[in-house]
Amino acid sequence: SIPHKQSLKKHFSVYLGLLPILAQLQPQHPVTVFVNWIFTPVLSGIMLPACLAAMFAPPLTPLADYVWWVTEQVAQHVSHLLPALQ
């Protein structure tokens, strides 16, 4: 339980540090801290190996493309579930 709290604190600290820069581009939703906290292991554990495999074995490129497509679909679905900031 403790490592999860420390990890969440780090994500929240990065969020607060980047907030002044990102707020100029668009309003930031506070839930994005938790979404990024959940997606980071998926990106580093699935996407990175798939892309590296495709880089060294070009026939695996469709696999990497599919992983990117699934990630995009999930991100769009999550963004539609979040209440809009006005």
Check: pTM over 0.75? Answer yes or no. Answer: no
pLDDT of residue 71: 86
pLDDT 10s digits, 1-55:
467 777 778 877 877 787 777 777 666 677 777 777 777 787 888 888 999 999 9
Who's near 15: CB < 8 A, 6+ residues apart?
A: 28, 32, 33, 36
Number of alpha carbons in the 13 Å side-chain half-sphere of residue 52: 7
